[in-house]
Amino acid sequence: MASAFRSLVETFLREEYEESPTLASSLGLTEYDERLDDLGADAQRRRIERDVAWLGRFRAMPDADLAPAERIDRDLLVSVLRGRELAHPIEMWRRQPATYLNPGLNGVFTLFLHRLRPERELAEAAAARLEQVPRNIADGVANLDLPRTPRVYLERAIGQARAAVGYARRLVPAETNDASARAKLEKAGAVAADAFDSFAAHLESRKGEAKGDYAIGEEAYSALLREKELLPFGARELRERGREQWDLLSAEADRIAKEIDGGTWQETCVRLNRVHASTPDGMREEYAEWTGRARSFLRDTGLVTLPAGERCTVEPSPPFQRPILAVASYQRPPAFQDTLHGHFFVPYPPDGTPDAEVQKRLEGNCSAGIPTTAVHEAYPGHHWHLVMAKANPSPVRRIFGTSYFSEGWALYAERVMREQGFFSDPKHLLYQYEATIFRAARIVVDTSLHMGEMSFDDAVRHMVERGNLTEPNARSEVGRYCSWPTQASSYLTGMLEIVDIRTRWLARRGATDRAALRAFHDAITSAGMLPTTLAERSIAG
């Protein structure tokens, strides 16, 4: 980096870490491990002012003063900060109860997930964070404007807070074998558990007041697409693209389903959904098997370069995520530590879920669909991409990015594995199409919800009928879309952008064989998690 830009970035990042010690810990900066984010009203307002000031500083840096890679870094930071600026009027800190749960939960969970310090030190840090949870909860009680809070936000937060009680009281102390460390965690965990429990009770008692609207509106949604994601279209055009893709993909899926059993793709998937592991542990074993198969395929075909030392373990999802997340997820290695160990989390149901609903959730992770999800989350999806991105020399690109690339890449990974013959069983091939159809349905639902043109129940019905979800999984999914506008649209949108970039890149080189594909894959993933416009610029040379 040029001296002035490097200095500016270093100052900005130091302030980011100070504002969010839990972010710093997740990046592997262990000196922040004992601290928890300040979520008070003054801190929230300070962050808003700081974001606006930094946006102005980075925008003011002229191209002439920057090398090409620095211009991309600057433009990435501008996109991130502009996205925050667009979100400020929505005031999630006044409307989203989960704001006050996530730092205490994720901030403790990542300490033990990565285990970057000796066990006694980890226990000390976790205990310090658990003891600060009541402060976060008190800030939530003080800051939340419940009449502006959507009911779905409140209900999701109540479920998460209740799961957090058991996590803090029972599961965190079990992370250590040292008796004195466990005693400290039990004491601190009880403090945090009481705070989580009181927050759940507070929210439950005030449910009737939660009458806010989750829809951010077409103007805000379109601005996020254009100014944060750097895409050339708005919400309404994106919805039409989702509908068109659903029709195109469904026609191809119907052709495959007819070969399997003569039905439509929906009818065939309904039948295949019933073929699944009988328990969550059995489901995890299937995911682990197919994760290994996907990695072996990459090794044998040379479709990508596998970095030395990388590994991905397949594990049950964190207990406190289970009430709000019914799909698989991935946790990348810390950006500033040498480890290349990633974690693929399989969607276990919340504790106490009735057996009938457990079986419904397992239907959503049927045996025929598991190969596609393993590709998406691990090889060459999130895990492979993020260990490649971790090698980028820019600290900005190791930290910041967009789901329009990272989720777009993971769906692209499914597509390229299909193109290269990994899904040889027609049932598995059908579910790769089904996974893409699901993302097309997501675009339609997400845009329609936030333009105010689809109700929550309409969205659930749409995802059941056109996204092949069971109703419990559909309700969980739609709750997520309400809480996280534009993210659900990122998968298919980003994938289509990456396919277009690939077409142009390969055409310039006059080659489409696996060696050329590997060169493209290695180059674009090593650039980071950039908005797709910047990703293409980064590999243009």
Q: Please tell me the predicted confidence (pLDDT) of residue 472.
A: 83
Q: Letter for the amino acid at 78?
A: V
Q: What's the whole-number mean pLDDT along residues 291-296?
A: 98
* 131, two tokens: 């003891």
Q: Please tell me the predicted confidence (pLDDT) of residue 265.
A: 96
Q: What is the pTM of this model?
A: 0.94
Token pair 């243009």 is found at 540
Write the burial class of residue 437 (CB in 10 Å: 0-12 exposed, 13-18 middle, 19+ buried). Answer: buried
Please say if the pLDDT value at position 325 is more than 90. Answer: no
In order, the DSSP letters of 423-463 are --SHHHHHHHHHHHHHHHHHHHHHHHHHTT-S-HHHHHHHH
How does pLDDT run across 99-116, given as a tens digit for each residue?
A: 999 999 999 999 999 999
Q: Calculate the alpha carbon distances from 185 to 38, 105, 285 in Å.
A: 22, 14, 31
Q: Please tell me the predicted confidence (pLDDT) of residue 282.
A: 97
CA gap 273, 468 in Å, rounded: 9
Q: Please tell me the predicted confidence (pLDDT) of residue 305.
A: 98
Residue 1: pLDDT band (50, 70, 90) is very low
